[in-house]
């Protein structure tokens, strides 16, 4: 009877840990355009950098706030493809770098697995700026 009780407790703990890992986080959930002094996006390839206008910053901030990250994963360096790098200068002077590189997002140099749709929308937005 005790063994079954322990097995149930261990199973519940494992399921809770897995659920926490799989849920994901939204690290920029509270990002607002009003907090951003300037923003650029660099598309590689073709190695083009674009300075965003205020209405574009609003759109980008909305898209970035929807990014969902899962576990850290630096294997994005093993992939080939186009990355879009948003460099954000906040009104307090801090800078953040967010690279959309589906199925990854790289935040300030740290790679994460990401939910595909928000990252794809961010990439599409950047490519439409060209």
Q: What is the pLDDT of residues 21-60, one digit of tens each?
A: 556 899 999 999 999 999 999 999 999 999 999 999 999 9
**Which residues touch 39 (CB under 8 Å, ≥6 apart)?**
51, 52, 56, 57, 60, 86, 87, 88, 89
Report the predicted TM-score, pTM, of the whole model to 2 decimal places.
0.82
In this prediction, residue 12 has a pLDDT band, given cuts at 50, 70 and 90, of confident
């Amino acid at each position: 009877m005790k063994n079954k009780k322990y097995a149930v407790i261990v199973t519940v703990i494992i399921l809770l840990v897995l659920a926490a890992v799989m849920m994901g986080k939204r690290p920029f959930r509270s990002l607002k355009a009003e907090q951003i002094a300037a923003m650029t996006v660099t598309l590689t390839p073709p190695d083009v950098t674009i300075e965003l206008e205020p209405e574009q910053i609003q759109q980008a901030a909305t898209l970035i706030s929807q990014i969902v990250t899962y576990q850290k994963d630096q294997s994005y360096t093993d992939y080939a493809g186009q990355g879009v790098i948003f460099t954000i200068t906040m009104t307090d002077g801090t800078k953040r770098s967010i690279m959309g590189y589906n199925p990854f997002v790289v935040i300030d140099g740290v790679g994460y697995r990401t939910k595909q749709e928000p990252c794809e929308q961010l990439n599409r937005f950047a490519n439409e700026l060209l």
